[in-house]
Amino acid sequence: MAFASIFVPNFLLQAVVRAGPAIGKRALVLIEGNPPLCSVVAVSEKATQMGIEIGMTKTDAEQFAGVEIRSRSPAQGKIAHAVLLDIGWSVSPRIEDTAQDAIVLDLSGLTSLFGAEKDITTHLVERAAACGLRVNVATAVNIDTALIAARGFTGITIISPGEESQYLGELPISALSPSDETAEILNRWGVATCADLARLPILDLSERLGQEGVRLHALAQGASERSLVIAEPAHSFEEEMELDDAVEELDPLSFLLGRMLDQLCVRLTARALGAAAIRVRFELQPSFENAVDIREAFPTQRRPSLYEKEIQLPVPARDSKMLLKLLRLRLQLNPPGAPIQKITLAAEAARPRATQGGLFLPSFPDPEKLELTIARIAHVVGEGNVGSPSLTDTYRPGEFQMRRFLTPQEASKTSGDSKSVRHAAEQRASSKVSTSFRVFRPAMPAQLDLQAGCPTRVAFQGLRGDVIAVSGPWRTSGDWWREDPWQQDEWDLEIHFHDSPVGRDRSAHLQPNSGIFRFYYDSLRRGWFVRGVYD
Amino acid sequence: MSSKTSALRLQVESALARRGGLAARVASPFQYRDQPIVETALTGVPPIDLLTGGLPRGSLTEIYGPPCSGRTSLLVSALAMRTAASEVCALVDARDAFDPHSAEAAGVRLQQLLWVRCRNVDQALRATDLLVQGGGFGLIALDLGDTPAREVRYVPLQVWFRFRRAVEHTPTIFLVVEQESNAKTCASLVLGLHAQETRWTQTAGSAGGNSLRHSPGCLLDSWKSRAEIIRSRAKRENLWVREPNEICADACDDGTEFDTTAVWGGVRKR
């Protein structure tokens, strides 16, 4: 049984640089604390070369020219830690969440999947690099040795059984994380390295340092044994970015969203998952009118307003380019309306759908391509004007709702043939073709002449005609308990038109001499309307 | 083919082959090529299917006629047949005239229908372009039935050509419903429709001698429409074309009649 430990050196700095790779090339310093007592908690290599040290005050750090000073971001640290866990879970199902900057993986049974330990560690380093983290990886037969080696050595370290003390011997005592008191005692004794500590007799060490001494002795020899504390796999995938300058235009925003989506998709791919939904949240720069309460004597700190959008996907996807296109189309339809100062992107993870096409099955649109096509169409015609019609449970004439268009696989799970569809299937079997109707939306106002309660002449939309056949009236009413009841008398009228109003048009011969229309008298609005035509 | 013609053909082909380059790609321009077999799909209207052999896949089909000629009934019947075959269909509705109630009564599975509700021809054409380029649909219908003919005439021919090229070599049926034929040679099948006779039921208490037919319980029963092939590439004879809009009522090999029945219609027990 072997264990691998992944350690992220200078974790706080890497968490910030991961969100904005461009700042990694500069001399970067992270500060923390309440002003004026801010102190430096992390420094980049360039800043170290300039002479900046951890513990310095912000004022001292500002004396150095060309230094970028940022505040420590707990949110970005949390996201970087989540990324580290994802890297671990992408390889092994059993990992321990040891610290914010270190995890341990159980490598049992993975050689058949990933190869030898060297291949596994190389894979881990590459995957971490793809996620924007530079890591140290070490393997050993016990957990603590792997952890200490990952913290102490840069790059990949593979410790074979029996070589633990040899590798750990050259590391300083601080690699074992002793308490301050114990460290001072060991320092006074001249014990500087793990090899020095390992050579000390265990009984004498336990008499002077107690149980901690015994523990440190075992660690130094690479002989400590303990079990892995398995961490529960997390299912939240979130990326966050705080912007120095608020972004207003869609193009630069798309660039940032694309980068965040790339990171999200890499993490999802590492876990063999897809995004079933994408949630985007923007913190907007508050406008002056909204931020200041004129009733207050002293305006409080401006509270940013939020913009939230959720995109549900028909099938789990992890194509960052497709997701970016969808996001862009939605943002073009409903722009935020104010400059954006913080972006949070979250993906709802789900297992990717595996479907197998058949040779003799009808072809279906590709779900991801279809979703993009529907989004583009919605951009042209409006969001509520594309989808599947669905009849509602009401007798109100012409009532329906537009639903999201489902892929055929999803539709087949949820649909059951309605009674009318079955009736129509029987009718088709008997070679009958049903009459269809074309609706006028909105209904056209009409003028009708009545004799003995029966329409005889009609006029609407510039057309005039005589009624030659009548069916009706058929009264419908309902929803009297609501604020919008209806009461209509419907008539089917066959009309012979006098003369086409477009008689001069060369297509006048195409105008019908007669037609069958549905008229209705709206008792509540007290008017006649044309609902549509049979065609 | 005569010997002189054969010799001439051989001479041209060998000259092209010797020339090389682009010319070599057409080394046998006079070689007879078999017509590809066009797959068709039934409309669900037996007389129309008998007349045309069905709607051709990978092609543009036009159905035109004045209002109340049965165009929409034919369109909905085709949608019903495709959705019953578990195919996904799309309807681009230029004037938002589609009625889901009568469509479902006719057998259309609405959850397999993508309905795009447009406000004008421009939106309809853009949406159609996105759908035909996306592909995967069994039937894409562009309903310009309520759009004034003068507006549709302004659609450039290359638009129809682009649509036809997009669906070529795919199993998609591209169907256009309009008031007059506009796609010209881009359409593989052009059907012209016009209404003929309307039938009403007259139950007890029929009207008197006046011309206005009305009685309590009078219902629309059915009507008859006539369909004629104006153009069809699938004809065994040479490509056969008539002048569009010349629909005659005379009996003709390329015409047929079909009945559409109201949902509540049918034989009633007396």
- pLDDT of the residue at A122: 93
pLDDT in tens, B182-194: 998 899 999 999 8
Residue A257 lies in a domain: no
Query: Does residue A474 sit at the B interface (CB-CB below 8 Å)?
Result: no
Residue A357 lies in a domain: no
Q: What is the pLDDT of residue A506?
A: 39
How high is the pLDDT of residue A511?
55
Contacting residues for A353 by C-beta, under 8 A, at least 6 apart: A274, A315, A316, A409
Measured between alpha carbons, how far is residue B238 from residues A59, A452, B52, B63, B233 in Å?
92, 59, 15, 22, 8
H runs (alpha helix) in A241-313:
250-270, 288-291
CA nearest to B191, candidates B36, B45, B84: B45
Query: What is the count of structural domains for chain A?
Result: 2
| Residue B239: per-residue pLDDT | 38
* From A139-153, A184-198, A279-293, A509-523, the region with the lowest mean pLDDT: A279-293
Contact flag B69-A535 (C-beta cutoff 8 Å)? yes
For the residues A156-168, what does the mean pLDDT come to? 90
Kindly state whether residue A416 falls inside one of the protein's structural domains: no
Tell me the C-alpha distance between A79 and A86, whole Å.
10
**Residue B76 carries which DSSP code?**
H
Q: What domains lie within chain B, and their CATH numbers?
A: 44-201+223-261 (3.40.50.300)
How much of chain B exceeds pLDDT 90, in percent?
51
Residue of B nearest to A388 (CA): B114
ipTM over 0.85: no
pLDDT of residue B39 exceeding 90, the answer is no
Q: Record the tokens describing residue A97, joined without a space.
A: 């969440």
Which chain B residues are within 8 Å of A435, Cβ to Cβ?
A: 73, 102, 220, 222-223, 260-263, 265
Pick from B130, B225, B256 the residue to mutate for testing the A interface (most A CBs within 10 Å). Answer: B130
Asked if residue A250 belongs to a domain, the reply is no
Average of per-residue pLDDT values in chain B: 82
| Amino acid A72: pLDDT | 85
Q: Would you place residue A534 in the very low, low, confident or very high pLDDT band (cuts 50, 70, 90)? A: very high
- Phi first, then psi, for residue A473 (nearest 5°) are -80, 150
For A114-172, what is the HEC assignment? HCCHHHHHHHHHHHHHHCCCCCEEEEECCHHHHHHHHHHCCCEEECCCCCHHHHHCCCE
Question: What distance in Å separates the CA atoms of residue A392 and residue A387, rounded to the nearest whole number?
Answer: 15
Place of tokens 């079955």: A422
Do the domain assignments include residue A390? no
- Specify the pLDDT at position A359: 66
Does A439 contact B at CB distance below 8 Å?
A: yes
- Per-position DSSP letters for A424-448, written without gaps between them: HHHHHHTT-EE--EEEEEEEEEEEE
Strand residues in B88-172 grouped as ranges (E): 89-93, 113-117, 139-143
Which residues 6+ apart lie within 8 Å of A281 measured at CB? Answer: A306, A307, A308, A343, A344, A345, A346
Pairwise CA distance, residues A466 & A461, whole Å: 15
Return the closest-CA partner of residue A95 out of A133, A156, A46, A137: A137
Quote the pLDDT of residue A369: 87
Q: Which domain holds residue A470?
A: 437-534
Judge whether A162 lies within some domain. no
A385 contacts in B (CB within 8 Å)? 96, 116-118
Q: Return the closest-CA partner of residue A125 out of A7, A212, A275.
A: A7
Does the structure show a pLDDT above 70 at A109? yes
Residue A510 has pLDDT above 80, yes or no: no
Which of B88, B245, B258 is facing A364, going by the closest CB pair? B88
Question: Strands B59-64 and B187-201: what pairing?
Answer: parallel
Percent of chain A at pLDDT exceeding 90: 37
For position B30, what pLDDT does the model report? 62
Q: DSSP 3-state assignment of B191?
A: strand
Predicted confidence (pLDDT) per residue in A371-428, tens digit = 899 999 999 999 899 999 999 998 899 899 999 998 766 655 554 445 555 455 545 5
For residue A56, give the CATH number of its domain: 3.40.1170.60
Average pLDDT, chain A: 85
Residues in chain A closer than 8 A to B66 (CB atoms): 510-512
Residue A219 included in any domain: no
* Residue range A92-100: mean pLDDT, rounded: 91
